[in-house]
Amino acid sequence: MTILDVPVAMQHAALDIPDPETPVGARGVGEPPVGAGFGAVLAAIADAVGDDVFRRSPVTPDIILASLEAGHRAHDALIAYI
């Protein structure tokens, strides 16, 4: 499939249906696929530098470099109190 296979006119029916779970009825359209890409990037970094280098996000270059220079995780893992 290429860009030429995409229809010129598309119907966006999901946008006309309010989401009852949100305060204003807004519906996410482009956000859900972002999670898969984020997970893939984190998995690639973990494969490259080791699983224990980070246990939180966002993963920034300074976190990765500090952990690699120290030889262990240089920051505390995030904790959720539920």
What digits encode the pLDDT tens for the residues 4-48?
Answer: 888 888 777 766 788 888 888 887 777 777 777 888 888 888 888
3-class DSSP state of 41? helix
Question: pTM for the complete prediction?
Answer: 0.48
Structurally, how many domains does the chain consist of?
1
- Provide the domain limits for residue 75: 34-82
Q: Is 44 part of any domain?
A: yes
- Residue 4 belongs to some domain of the structure: no
Residue 23, CA distances (Å) to 12, 20, 26, 30, 53 in order:
21, 8, 8, 19, 39
- The answer as to whether 24 is a domain residue is no
Contact 54, 78 (CB under 8 A): no
Could you give the CA distance from residue 72 to residue 49 in angstroms, rounded to a whole number?
11
